[in-house]
């Protein structure tokens, strides 16, 4: 191998290493909210949303779902679809929705990335603490090299797709309830 | 010129190798509709390929006063919770447990009543027993 080719390979390898291992970013709240959710019925009540089990994303970590972002994405989808009349914060509201991130399975390497997400959804009526919904929701997200070249971006897209599907399934299930 | 290329190559190698270093995460949460203290009997659903993680989980739960059985078959009737887990292993000089997720489920509906997760990369690796202890303790810390 000539010196010019060796230089080219070394430089290319270095740049590729840096590009492919760039900093991770968390799933974005805007991308996790399903934009076009049509629900079977709209409830004339107020809702308080809580999220748990998620994690922040550090630069060296893989994409995670933060509790605050999941909560915001669910609230946004509820408001857009008018599933509930209003969203309230603090210890108020007619109903309490709690969404728990149970597991988020992400690949460590790969071209087309497949992510598996499980969330637990529970809906409680505040007045008598009646549990109206307890449901495990499993969803998947896929992102290919055509969508993003950098691994960290591809992984974030797959996580956001899985979260969006999870929120869609959860809110559809709540829409089917007679509150 | 040659020196610059070598420095660039070294930087690329360092970036590639260090992205797996020193990430620590530990979470635990309980669904508000669940009373963890009322769960007195549990069944640890063993993953067929698992050697010992199921036994560590069962021992840890027994230390909390819970009656625990385990196996690969479907859970026996009458248990208060079914315990499932996902353990992810990595190799770095030796094998180590990278991530562990433990979930306590409603035996009838599969609903995840409580869950905990720990993630430690190679430089801050924990033994499997320490991982199990951390996850189960975090689940019980999350109980109201």
Residue at B62 is within a domain:
yes
Write the ipTM.
0.78
| Residue A140 structure tokens | 């998947």
Distance from CA of B137 to the nearest CA of A (A): 14
Cα–Cα distance for residue pair A72/A50, rounded to 1 Å: 9
| Residue A130 structure tokens | 């009646």
Residue at B6 is within a domain:
no
Tell me the three state secondary structure of residue B126.
Answer: coil
Cα–Cα distance for residue pair A34/A74, rounded to 1 Å: 9
The residues of A whose Cβ lies within 8 A of any Cβ of B are 7, 10-11, 13-18, 20-21, 50, 52-55, 58, 60-61, 64, 96, 98, 100-103, 105, 118, 120, 122, 124, 131, 134-136
> For strand B41-45 and strand B67-71, is the pairing parallel, antiparallel, or unpaired?
parallel
Cα–Cα distance for residue pair B102/B42, rounded to 1 Å: 13
Residue at B22 is within a domain:
no
**Residue matched to tokens 């497949």:** A114
Selected for mutation to probe chain A from B32, B92, B135 (highest A CB count within 10 Å) is: B32
C-beta of residue B30 within 8 angstroms of C-beta of residue B114: yes
The stretch B6-14 carries a mean pLDDT of 60
Cα–Cα distance for residue pair B87/A168, rounded to 1 Å: 28
The stretch B96-115 carries a mean pLDDT of 95
Residue at B112 is within a domain:
yes
The stretch B41-59 carries a mean pLDDT of 96
Q: ∠ CA B49-B55-B56 to the nearest 5 degrees?
A: 115
Residue ranges, chain A, pLDDT below 50: 18-19
Selected for mutation to probe chain A from B112, B113, B119, B141 (highest A CB count within 10 Å) is: B112
The residue range of the domain holding B93 is: 28-141
Cα–Cα distance for residue pair A125/A93, rounded to 1 Å: 9
CATH of the domain at B116: 3.40.50.10150
**Residue matched to tokens 């997200």:** A141
**pLDDT tens readout for residues A118-152:** 999 999 999 999 999 999 999 999 998 888 888 88
Q: Which residue of B has its CA nearest to A16?
A: B12
| Phi, psi values for residue A11, rounded to 5° | -65, -45
Cα–Cα distance for residue pair A7/A15, rounded to 1 Å: 12
Q: Which fold, A25-175?
A: Double Stranded RNA Binding Domain (3.30.160)
Beta strands in A32-112 (DSSP E): 43-52, 84-88, 95-105
Please give the pLDDT value at position B20: 46
Choose among A14, A55, A60: nearest Cβ to B11.
A14
Nearest to B29 by CA among A66, A51, A170: A51
Residue at B95 is within a domain:
yes
Total of domains in chain B: 1
Yes or no, beta carbons of B19 and A52 under 8 Å apart = no
Q: Which residue of A has its CA nearest to B33?
A: A131
Tell me the three state secondary structure of residue A149.
Answer: coil
Q: What is the DSSP letter of A59?
A: T
* Residue B128 scores a pLDDT above 90: yes
* Residue B57 scores a pLDDT above 80: yes
Buried b (16+ CB within 10 A) or exposed e, B78-90: ebbbbbbbbbeee
Helices (H), chain B: 2-18, 53-62, 128-141
Instruction: Quote the radius of gyration of chain B (alpha carbons, Å).
Output: 19
Q: ∠ CA B85-B89-B93 to the nearest 5 degrees?
A: 155
**Residue matched to tokens 């009322």:** B38
**pLDDT tens readout for residues B88-103:** 999 999 999 999 999 9
Cα–Cα distance for residue pair A57/A62, rounded to 1 Å: 7
Which H or E element spans position B41?
A: strand B41-45
In chain A, what are the domain boundaries?
Answer: 25-175
DSSP string, B108-120: TT--EEEEEEEEE
Residue at B111 is within a domain:
yes
């Amino acid at each position: 191998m000539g010196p010019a080719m060796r230089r080219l390979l070394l430089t290319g390898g270095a740049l590729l290493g840096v590009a492919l291992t760039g900093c991770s970013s968390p799933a974005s709240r805007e991308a996790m909210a399903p934009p076009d959710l049509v629900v079977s019925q709209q409830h004339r009540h107020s809702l308080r949303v809580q999220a748990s089990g998620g994690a922040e994303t550090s630069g060296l970590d893989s994409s995670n779902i933060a509790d605050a972002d999941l909560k915001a994405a669910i609230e946004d989808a509820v408001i857009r679809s008018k599933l509930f009349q209003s969203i309230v914060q603090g210890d108020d509201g007619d109903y309490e929705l709690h969404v728990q991130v149970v597991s988020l399975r992400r690949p460590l390497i790969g071209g087309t990335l497949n992510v598996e997400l499980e969330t637990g959804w529970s809906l409680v009526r505040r007045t008598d603490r009646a549990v109206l919904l307890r449901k495990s929701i499993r969803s998947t997200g896929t992102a290919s090299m055509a969508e993003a070249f950098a691994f960290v971006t591809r992984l974030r897209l797959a996580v956001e797709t899985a979260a969006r599907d999870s929120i869609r399934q959860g809110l559809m299930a709540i829409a089917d309830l007679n509150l | 010129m040659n020196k610059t290329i070598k420095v660039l190559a070294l930087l690329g190698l360092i970036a590639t190798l260090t992205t797996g270093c020193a990430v620590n995460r530990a979470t635990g949460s309980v669904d508000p509709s669940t009373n963890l203290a009322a769960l007195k009997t549990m069944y640890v659903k063993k993953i067929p390929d698992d050697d010992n993680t199921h036994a560590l989980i069962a021992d840890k739960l027994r230390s909390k006063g819970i009656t625990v059985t385990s196996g690969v078959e479907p859970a026996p009737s009458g248990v208060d919770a079914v315990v499932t887990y996902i353990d992810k292993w990595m190799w770095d000089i030796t094998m180590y447990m990278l991530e562990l997720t433990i979930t306590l489920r409603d035996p009838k509906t599969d609903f995840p009543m409580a869950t905990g997760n720990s993630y430690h990369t190679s430089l801050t690796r924990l033994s499997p027993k320490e991982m199990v202890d951390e996850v189960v303790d975090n689940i019980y810390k999350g109980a109201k």
